[in-house]
Every structure is written in structure tokens, then in C-alpha cells.
Amino acid sequence: MSDTTANGGRESALLRFLWKTVKLLATVALTFLGLLLATFLIGRVVPVDPVLAVIGDRAPQSVYDRVYVELGLDRPLYEQFWLYLEKVFTGDFGQSFLTKRDIVDDIRRVFPATLELATVAILIGTLFGIPLGVWAAVRQGRFADQFVRVFGLIGYSAPIFWLGLLGLLVFYARLHWVAGPGRIDIAYEYSITAKTGLLLLDSAMQGEWDAFKNVFSHIILPASLLGYFSMAYISRMTRSFMLNELAQEYVTTARVKGVPEWRIIWVHALGNAAVPLVTVVALSYANLLEGSVLTETVFAWPGLGQYLTNSLQNADMNAVLGGTLVIGAIFVGLNLLSDLLYNLLDPRVRRHA
Amino acid sequence: MTVLSRREWLLSDRPASRRQARLGQVYRTWLGFRSNWLAMVGLAIVLTLILVAAFADVIAPYDPVVGGDLRTERFLPPFTDGHILGTDDLSRDIFSRIVHGSRLTLMVVVLVAVIATPIGLLVGTTAGYFGRWVDVTLMRITDIFLAFPRLILALAFVAALGPGIENAIIAIAITSWPPYARLARAETLTIRDSDFINAARLQGASSARILWGHITPLCLSSVIIRVTLDMAGIILTAAGLGFLGLGAQPPQPEWGAMIAAGRRFLIDQWWVATMPGIAIFIVSLGFNLLGDGLRDVLDPKARK
């Protein structure tokens, strides 16, 4: 008897979990559709004539009319949107006006650079941000707390492109500690074959340690800067989660039991704060995409951000919208991922789902 | 009864009028705010910004757009006679440009706040008050806007509208209202079923009247704190757009655009790009400190 209810309980819990996942996916699908609608509408209001972008401004009227119909511009707006959807889902974002290549290929080419930069940055941000946040929470209201707060506030307040320029001026031009703009020196560019597109990984796997060093000295400055910005956010959130946990009764109980303080802080409290922290880290990873647009411009980093700004400055709307869409999709994806992780990791959410 | 001092009158725990109670509340908040010295620094910075913007013509010793002698006054380093922050490639006094740029910064912040706050309030309170499909529809739209990183969406909008400071302001406003809508909705949900709203409804008040006259004022304070907290972000986004050449156009002395212009001379004439960056940094730090302090005072829950 009790066996069946337990079973039934588990089944309905599973069902609820599934239902929640389905609902979440439906929301994401809807959001994604909205994203597409937004880029579509932005593309329609641009003052650039899409026909002229294809044929140039010297083609005769007959060619113009033919392309006009081919692009579906004579049809009503909702049919145009449908056409746009069909194209996007078959991976056709159109051609870049600038590079004359498919946008998808362009994005695939530049994406690993951004991924590498953002990943190193989030590693730096997490490795420094979490301990700083814990430190601030433990020393609440004291010097350490104020220090972490001001340190974070500076990160929130400084324009990242300006810090990047200053960093280049000081650490590259004056002190020669790091390599300059770009991902790798030309001398090393052909010593490694691109497999993953992540140069740190590629050079390490191929045992090219000189190239690895070079790549590292290129990436460390922009990644530290980006990492600093996510660190500011991560440390602030860690602090507030930790304060929450340290005020709980189980902490008092553990203290009474005589558990050493470091264990209470780093194992008990941080262990419980870790679940919401996963969400925070995932979100800051997504926010790095935004910071990367400006950072990549400053450091001539051949990634998605630079591609986007380059296309913008040359009024290459297909590329701009393609890039915007990809970044939006990654953003939505990471948000979804953080939601799912949260559901998966937190036993309370799992049970009450 | 003796005549009370102004302070005692404000702090009285038995206010005689609604006005006294309200002023007393404001005074207590101010006392709490004043004890936070970081917040006071923020307030001082923001007030300075406003004053500098108002008296830019008096403060700036030179014209922000027309430079001096191109043969002798280019790239003068900081602390040269008469040019405290040096001059740029067109012999313009950097200090004067920064002072005049404060007007653009202030304009961006104020206009974005004035455009985005009402949109957020309207969408949020409407969604929260009517519920059901209105809520679902409006919140879906809000989520879509939240699904883009802010700068990227602003970039796409500016690309569509064309570069310029007005379009940058519109783009930033379009991308900043969703959080306010969410906040206003959450506040509305908590007060929508309270007795005084029901009483107003029973007296025959229209939905518009309830929304505007009863719900919006109650959502206002938390939304305003949120807007203040966002102002630093707004300044940074505007500067970023300016840096990418999509915001204010030269020769306007916009700080982000000035950094972009100074970038070419970074190695040898470092001050051209550095000085406007310091201005951006100080101002957005000021807004951050002010917003933090306001939140601490007005929202005791967040204070830990």
C-alpha cells in the first residue's frame, strides 16, 4: 500500500518535472520567435534598400523589379516574416554585403575567438569573485567588506573600453608585460592547425608550447578585464547569498556542535549558496557577450563582437541581424540552461516543482 | 506648549497634519542617507554634474568645438598653462570639452529616464492589474526585450535608425524599460486585491483611474530607486555607443566619442583618451553610490 503511494508520488513528481520542462521549453520557443520578429522588424525599418544591397545601384529597372519579387518584398508583411523564418531555420541568414560570404559561415569562423575569450574571462571572474564575496560576507561591515564593495563598484562604473585602452597603454606599450592586440602573433599563426578554433586548447594539444605562451599573453589582458566585470557581479551576489546562509539556524547548530569555522563557511554555507550561484555564473557568462563587443573592438580580437561592430559601421544589415540573432539565441540558451540547472541542483525546487 | 525647533517638529511622533508626517518621513530618510558617507559622495558627484552642466559656459575657459592654433597648441600635455587637462589633435582644450560633454551625459540620463520609466510603469501596472491574457501577453513581450543583451539590442536599433545622439537615446530607452515593467507588475500584484483598491472600485472608479491614481503612485518609489541604480549603466551604454561611433557625432564633445577619437594617439598622447574616461568613470561611480545609498535607506529588506 505504502509502496504504491510512494511510487505514485514519484511518478507524479516526474510528471510535474516533465510538465515544467515542457512549459519552460515552450516559453523559450516563444521568446525565440519574438527575437526573430524583433530582428525581422528592425531589418524592415532600416533605411538601406535591401534590393540595392544585392544588385548595386547601376542595375536597370527590370533587374531591380525581378530581385524585388525574388526577395519577396511585394508580398504582405506576415508572408515576408514566414519566408524569413523558413530561411533562418534552414540556416540561411543571407550573404554578407561586405565579405560576400554566407553569414552563417562568417559567424562560425569568428565564434570560437569570442567563446575562448569569454570562457577564460568567466574562469577568472568565478575564481576571484566567489572567494571575495565569501570574505566580504564573513567580515560583514568591516574593512574587507567595504574593500570588496568599492572594488566591485569600480568594476561597475568604469567603461570597459576605456579600461582596455589604459591596460594596453600600461601593460603592453609601457611595461611590455603582455602581447598587444589580436589573438596571436603572425609568427605563430601557422604553427598550429585549427581544430577546435580555441587557440589555447589547440596549441596545448599539439604540444606547441611557444605558441601557447604567445596566445596566453594575448588573451590574458582582455580576459582579465572582462573577468573583472563579471567578478564584480559574482562577488556581490556571493556576498548576499552567503549572508543569507550564515544567518540560518543550521549554522548556529554547527557552531554549537563545534564544527570548525572554516568548515561552516566553505562547506556548509557555501555548499548551500552554490545552487543560486550557478545561476549567477551562467547569467554573467551571457553578459560577457555584451562586454565582448566593446572589448573585442579595443583589442582587435577577431570574434563575434568585432564582426558585429565592423558590419555595423559598414551598414551590412544582414550580418548585423545575423550576429544579433546569434547573440540573442545564446543569451536565451544560457538563461534556459541556468533555469534547468537550478531545477536540477536544488532539491527543494525539485520536490515542489 | 513651547515652540518646537524645526528638527523637533520634523521628528515629532505625533504629527498634527499630513504634511508634517510626510516631511518628517522625508527627514528621517535623509538622516539615514546622510549617515552613509559613500552615498553622500555619490550625491555630491551627481550634484556637481548637474551644476557643471548648468554653468558649462561659465566654467569652460575655451570653446568646446573650435580649437586653438593648430601649429603651436596641438597635443599640449596636461597642466600646460591654461590647459589643465591638455589639448587634443585639433588644439581643443580637453577640460572645456569634458565640461560641455556633461550636458550631453545629463541629457542622455534624463531623457532615457523620462522615456523609459512611464513605459515600464504603464506596461507593468497594466499587466499586474488586469492579469490573465493581458498579463501573459505583456510579460512575454517584456521577456523578449530582456532576452537581448542591452547593448546589442541598442546597437541593432541604432543601426536601423541611423547614428546620432537622439537615436542612441531612443535605442537605450527602448532597451531599458523591461526591468521597470517587471518591478511595477510585482508591486501591482501585491496591492491589487487590497481593500482600498476594492473600495475605489466599488465607488465606481474606472480602471484607468485606479491604475493611475492609486496603483502607480505606490509603485513609483521602488521604480525610481531602480532607475537611479540603472543610471550608471545608461551612461556606460551611451558612452559605448559613442565609442563605436553610433552615438553623438563629432564634433560634439560626447565623452565616449572623445575616447574613440583619442584612441589613435594613445601611445604618445595618452591624455586625449584618458581624461574623458575618468569623467565617465567618476560620474557613473557617483550614480552607483547614490543608487546604493538610496536602496539601503528606502528598502530595509535589501540592507544586510
Q: pLDDT tens digits for B85-113?
A: 888 877 788 888 989 989 999 999 999 99
Average pLDDT over chain B reads 84
**Inter-chain residue contact B256 with A27, CB threshold 8 Å:** no
Contact B84, B138 (CB under 8 A): no
In a domain? residue B175:
yes
The predicted structure's pLDDT at residue A353? 44
In a domain, B141, yes or no: yes
pTM, two decimal places: 0.84
| Mean pLDDT of the residues in chain A | 80
The verdict on a CB contact (< 8 Å) between A320 and B285 is no
Residue B107 falls inside a structural domain? yes
Give just the sign of the alpha carbon dihedral B295, B300, B301, B304: positive
The verdict on a CB contact (< 8 Å) between B232 and A321 is no
Under DSSP, the state recorded for B77 is P
User: What are the tens digits of pLDDT across the range A323-346?
Assistant: 888 888 888 888 778 777 777 776
Whether the CB-CB separation of B111 and B169 falls below 8 Å is answered with yes
Q: Point out the residue among A150, A157, A331 whose CB comes nearest to the CB of B148.
A: A331
Q: Which of B151, B236, B267 sits opposite A293 (nearest CB)?
A: B151
ipTM above 0.95, yes or no: no
- Residue of chain A minimizing CA distance to B232: A157
pLDDT above 90 for B282? yes
| Mean pLDDT of the A248-257 span | 87
Contact A31 B147 (CB under 8 A): yes
What secondary structure does DSSP assign to A255-322, as a single string? Answer: HHHT--HHHIIIIIIHHHHHHHHHHHHHHHHHHHHHHHHHHHHHHT--SHHHHHHHHHHTT-HHHHHH
CB pairs under 8 A between A and B: 146
Residue A11 vs residues A5, A6, A17, A153, B155: alpha-carbon distances, Å: 10, 9, 10, 48, 48
Lowest-pLDDT choice from A69-83, A307-321, A324-338? A69-83
Cα–Cα distances (Å) from B171 to A326, B46, B247, B253, in that order, read 20, 24, 10, 20
Q: Report yes or no: B155 at the A interface, CB cutoff 8 Å.
A: yes
pLDDT of residue A5: 46
CA A189/CA A176 separation, integer angstroms: 21
B203 within a domain of the structure (yes/no): yes
Residue B86 CB: number of other CB atoms within 10 A?
20
Whether residue A3 is predicted with pLDDT greater than 60 in this model: the reply is no
Number of domains in chain B: 1
Total residues belonging to chain A: 353
- Top-confidence residue, A72 or B171: B171
Cα of B102 to nearest chain A Cα, Å: 16
* The CATH number of domain A103-352 is 3.40.50.11540: no
Q: Could you tell me if residue B10 is inside a domain?
A: no
In a domain, residue B287? The reply is: yes
Sign of torsion over alpha carbons A199, A203, A205, A206 = positive
CATH number at residue B244: 1.10.3720.10
Question: What is each CA distance from A333 to A84, A209, A280, A348, B203, in whole angstroms?
Answer: 21, 34, 14, 24, 48
Q: Domain containing B286: what range?
A: 28-64+85-298
Is residue B19 in a domain?
no
